[in-house]
Copies of this chain bind each other. A is one copy, B any other.
Amino acid sequence: MYKGGYTGKILRVNLTEQTVKEEALSQDVARDFIGGAGFGIKFLFDEVKGATDPLGPDNKLIFASGPFSGTTIPCASRMAVTSKSPLTGAVGMALTGGYFPVELKFAGWDALIIEGKAKEPTYVWIKDGEVKFRSAKKLWGMKTTDTQQIIKNELHDQNIRVACIGPAGENQIKIASIINEWRAIGRKGLGAVMGSKNLKAIAIRGTGEVAVADKDKLKAAKGEMTKAMKESHVLYPAFAKIGTPMVVDHTCATGIFPTKNFMATGEYNPVDKIGVDVQMTRNVGFEACYGCPVGCSQLKLAKTGPYAGILTEGPEFETMYAYGGVTGVENIDAIIAADRMADELGFDTLSSGVTIAFAMELFEKGILTKEDTGGLELNFGNHEAMNTVLKLMAYREGIGDLLADGSKAAAEKIGKGADKYAMHVKGLELPAYDVRGAKAHGLNYATSYTGADHCRGYAFQEIFGIPVPHEVDRFTADGKGKLTKWNQDIRTATTDAPTMCAFLLDMAVVGIAAQNTASLMEAVTGFTYTPDDILQVGERINNLAHAFNVREGFTREDDTLPERLLTEPLKGGASKGHFVSRDELNQMLDEYYEARGWDVKTGAPSREKLEELGLGYVADQMSV
């Protein structure tokens, strides 16, 4: 019997019926899936049938913190939100930090499963075990900061935490996010799922505590972890002071910071325009998630022009790329403003920026014209146009409506060969690394169960040269299949499931992650694992997620990269001349599927592997 970490309870909220059900958390699920993304994917596979409309009432939205969240383990206030993505049709899973994740645990819940569709705009108010459905008719149309504040005022409690959507989610744009504080459950359009359910917000307040199984063991395991943190030369002082945006300089130096829709990479190096030195002139402090000693999230205040006085938390590295590099925008204040707007209107900075960059290239190539843009000169670098179009996207107006569902959908609507310039995998826009200079990272984009997602199997070996589990050459395809499997499994098992901050893994604890997670799990929950068991949990979750996608019709064909990355070598910089050839991609995919135990031809999971992972019922269902 699990002894702590878990609350042992799932809260099921049905919006159609306005009913609430408390369910016991199965011990088997707890042990085999740990929590967070593990729970999300388990419930998603089991409860959301194949071919379900992601924006229909039968899709579900699963909020799950992990067993570490709400304990005294630092950097563990994380939560996974899982659904079928309206953007990709695949598993949509994204994590967030802040305070909401621990509040869910303090309220007594390991997971919250949202079902059905409310008749009218609604928000759900969870105070410990008490759940209320409240009208959100008057909140509909409101931006996210105001929404959070008005709900706190309305409920007369400033300590409530709120996750909500903005106008973008209401308008079901397929790159809409869910916002808690200024943090985003950003990718895969989960905000549109909330919008489709007429669910404006979830407000939560918990007054309980999270127990742990063995305090002495926890002290020891935590000590091991914090020692690794303190010894990290990346975490302190640089990361604590600068946060993720420091990666702009690093990727510019290594020639993998993508610019102008991946056209000009290596030629155009914007480090002097939007690099750390410039960013820090806008820095006005930081925010930390609950229980985090690092506080990597930086506050920036725009100083010039129409943007003066706009504050944002961030922009994180990926946003510096999305509203900077890939769109060619060099105005730091415009990037700050766009980031805040994305949070207020509730859409993904990454997908929106990359989609606009795509439109910019089409505009420069004459495929889109001023007639399409409503008169806007949508050239690379035009920050006013970028900010204008971003807002139009949230409201589905004019050119914004064309782009509101991401680059894949836009390319289909535009035709004229536009899809050649749409930088996505499975419909999810590419994150910030030009994987022509980081091939395991590229293979992860191709194979991640969420689409092009740097968070699901981050190749820190290639990006930062960290030699764990071994040193690699970032330009070669050799061995990258196995490496990518390991990267995905370790990430899933030690961060996405338990739930822990991913930056810790990348920057401090990766060398001890599997073993330390085993120690922490034993201390917190009483379950015992070997480090291999932990890795196997990661493998199990990745297999189940993959099975979900296969059930949706995804095959090896979908595990690919945009044509540009497969055919156009980088033109300059420290990764000059490199690209991922089709042969290299195929070589990596073969190795990856073999390592995964999947069919090399179709990408389907094998019965053997599924049974080995205790997922025989999945094989039965899928007739594998």
- Report A's interface with B, CB cutoff 8 A: 138-139, 141-143, 145-146, 149-150, 152-154, 158-159, 166-167, 283-285, 287, 299, 301, 303, 308-311, 344-345, 395
Contacts and interface: CB of A to CB of B under 8 A. Distances in A.
A308 B141 contact: yes
Given A309-B167, A311-B146, A303 B141 contact: yes
12 contacts: A138-B283, A138-B285, A138-B301, A141-B301, A142-B311, A150-B299, A152-B158, A153-B287, A158-B158, A166-B309, A167-B309, A308-B395
Given A299-B150, A308-B395, A284 B142 contact: yes
Contacts of A139: 284
A141 B309 contact: yes
A345 B309 contact: yes
Given A138-B299, A142-B311, A158-B158, 19 more contacts: A138-B283, A138-B284, A138-B285, A139-B284, A141-B303, A141-B308, A141-B309, A142-B301, A142-B309, A143-B310, A143-B311, A146-B311, A150-B299, A150-B311, A153-B287, A158-B159, A166-B309, A308-B395, A309-B344
A344 B139 CA distance: 20
B145 A145 contact: yes
Nearest to A182: B149
Contacts of A345: 309
A170 to B, nearest CB: 10
Contacts of A308: 141, 167, 395
A343 to B, nearest CB: 12
Contacts of A303: 141
A310 to B, nearest CB: 8
Contacts of A287: 153
10 pairs of A and B residues whose beta carbons are closest in the complex: A138-B284, A158-B158, A146-B311, A138-B285, A158-B159, A167-B309, A143-B309, A141-B301, A142-B311, A141-B309
A426 B311 CA distance: 37
Contacts of A154: 285
Contacts of A284: 138-139, 142
A309 B147 CA distance: 11
Nearest to A397: B308
Contacts of A142: 284, 301, 309, 311
Scoring A283, A284, A310 by chain B CB atoms within 10 A of each residue's CB, the highest score goes to A284
Contacts of A310: 143
A146 B311 CA distance: 7
A150 B284 CA distance: 10
Contacts of A299: 138, 150
A142 B336 CA distance: 13
Scoring A152, A158, A167, A310 by chain B CB atoms within 10 A of each residue's CB, the highest score goes to A158
Nearest to A306: B391
Contacts of A309: 141-143, 166-167, 344-345
Contacts of A283: 138
A311 B166 CA distance: 13
A143 to B, nearest CB: 5
Contacts of A344: 309
A308 B143 CA distance: 10
Contacts of A311: 142-143, 146, 150
A132 B502 CA distance: 37
A345 B152 CA distance: 23
A190 to B, nearest CB: 20
Contacts of A153: 287
Nearest to A388: B306
Nearest to A145: B145
A269 to B, nearest CB: 30
Nearest to A167: B309
A60 to B, nearest CB: 28
Contacts of A152: 158
A146 to B, nearest CB: 4
Scoring A153, A287, A303 by chain B CB atoms within 10 A of each residue's CB, the highest score goes to A153
A165 to B, nearest CB: 12
A182 to B, nearest CB: 9
A315 B232 CA distance: 53
A26 B149 CA distance: 40
A109 to B, nearest CB: 22
A308 B139 CA distance: 13
Contacts of A146: 311
B395 A150 contact: no
A494 to B, nearest CB: 29
Contacts of A166: 309
A188 to B, nearest CB: 23
Nearest to A156: B288
A591 to B, nearest CB: 47
Contact of A285 (B143, B145, B150): B150
A284 B139 CA distance: 7
A175 to B, nearest CB: 17
Nearest to A153: B287
Scoring A146, A150, A154, A303 by chain B CB atoms within 10 A of each residue's CB, the highest score goes to A146
A560 B145 CA distance: 45
A284 B142 CA distance: 10
Nearest to A283: B138
A395 to B, nearest CB: 7
A305 to B, nearest CB: 10
A528 B299 CA distance: 54
Contacts of A301: 138, 141-142
A344 B150 CA distance: 16
A108 to B, nearest CB: 21
